[in-house]
Amino acid sequence: MNKLGIHALVWAGGWSHDECALAIEQTAKIGYDYIEIPALDPNSIDVDFTRKQLEKANLGVTLSLGLAPEADISSEDPDKIARGEATLQDAVALARDVGSAHVCGILHSAFTKYYHPPTQKGIENAVEVLRRIGEQAQKNGITIGLEVVNRYESNVLNTAAQAVAFCKQIDSPNVKVHLDTYHMNIEENDVMSAMIETGDYLNYFHVGESHRGYLGTGSINFDNVFRSLVYAGYTGPITFESFSSAVVNQELASILGIWRNLWSDGYDLAVHAKSFMEAQLKSARESILARA
Ligand code: MN
C-alpha cells in the first residue's frame, strides 16, 4: 500500500527547531505517514533534533533537493561537478542519519532555468556521478529518485521517457525515477502512458495541481493520474506538494515562481489533500477491480 506524505513547505519556509517541531507535529496529527523535508543544503538540517521530533510523532521522513547552479553535475566544469557530488553525498548521509529511505528531486542537474540544451559531455558527467551516488545509496539502503521537471527548472530530464533512458545509462538498482503531476501536465504528451511506461523505474511520486494549490481546483485530471498509478502497480510513496506565497522559502520561491497566494491555511490544505488522495486511490483501485 502506498504511504502518503506531505512537503514541509506547506507548514514552514525553513527548518529552525520551531519550524521543524511544528511541521512534524501537524503532519502526524492529520495522519500522514511521512513528511518530505527540503534539504537544498543538507548540512543545515539539525539531524538529532529532527530525528527526535520524528520519533516523538512516530512519523516517517523523506528528503528532496535540487542542485545549485554552482553544484551542477551536468556541467563541464570540474569544480561544479565536484561540489554537486559532495552535496549528493551529504544528502545520502543525511538520509541515513535522519532515517529516510528516499532522496529525491532535481539531482541530475542544477535546479534552475537554463538558456541552452545540455551537452553530451555534461550528460555523461551526470551519469558518472550518479552511478557513484547510486553505490553509496545502495550501501545505505536508500533509493535515489531523479525528478522529471518542466523545461524551466532543468534541461536534462523533462519527460518520463528521458528519465528511464537516463536511469538505464546509470545502471544502478538504487537510482530510479521520480514523477510529478505538475511537471507532467506541462511536458508529457499523455500522462497516463508516461506513468505506465515508466513502470518499475517509478520509485517516488509528487501530487501537485496545475497551479500548485488545492488539489481538484486546477486543470489536472487526477482520475487518470491515480488510475495510472494503480495500473502501473506503483506501491511507493506519494507526496502532496503545494506552494503559496503565504509560506515562503526564498531559495525555492525565486526558482519556482511562487508569487501568488493560493492558500493561507496550510492545515486546511493538508487535511483536504490527504482525503482527496485517499479517495482517488480508493476509486482507482475499485475501478480496476470492476474491470476484472
Ligand atoms: Mn515535485
Confidence band of 1 (pLDDT split at 50, 70, 90): confident
Residue 22, pLDDT > 90, answer: yes
| CA 60 – ligand 1 centroid, Å | 18
Active site residue 147: yes
Q: What is the pLDDT of residue 263?
A: 94
Active site residue 19: no
Set 36, 147, 153, 209: catalytic member = 147
Cell of 177: 525515477
Residue 215, pLDDT > 80, answer: yes
Q: Among 253, 236, 182, 191, which residue's Cα sits nearest to residue 211?
A: 182
pLDDT (mean) for 165-171: 98
| CA 128 – ligand 1 centroid, Å | 24
Neighbour count for residue 241 (Cβ, 10 Å): 21
Confidence band of 87 (pLDDT split at 50, 70, 90): very high
| CA 248 – ligand 1 centroid, Å | 16
Q: What is the pLDDT of residue 75?
A: 98
**Contacts by 47-50, CB closer than 8 A, 24 or more apart:** 47/94, 47/97, 47/98, 49/17, 49/20, 50/15, 50/20, 50/24, 50/98
Q: What is the pLDDT of residue 292?
A: 67
Q: How far apart are CA 278 and CA 57, in angstroms?
A: 21
Q: How large is the C-alpha radius of gyration of the chain?
A: 18
Please tell me the least confidently modeled range out of 40-44, 48-52, 173-177.
40-44
| CA 292 – ligand 1 centroid, Å | 33
Assign 93 to helix, strand or coil: helix
Residue 251, pLDDT > 90, answer: no
Q: What is the pLDDT of residue 63?
A: 98
Residue 212, pLDDT > 90, answer: yes
Residue 269, pLDDT > 80, answer: yes
| CA 83 – ligand 1 centroid, Å | 23
Q: How far apart are CA 122 and CA 76, in angstroms?
A: 5
Q: Among 204, 178, 207, 183, which residue's Cα sits nearest to residue 279?
A: 207
Q: How far apart are CA 285 and CA 278, in angstroms?
A: 11
Q: How far apart are CA 229 and CA 162, in angstroms?
A: 19
Q: What is the pLDDT of residue 86?
A: 98
| CA 158 – ligand 1 centroid, Å | 12
Residue 250, pLDDT > 90, answer: no
Confidence band of 156 (pLDDT split at 50, 70, 90): very high
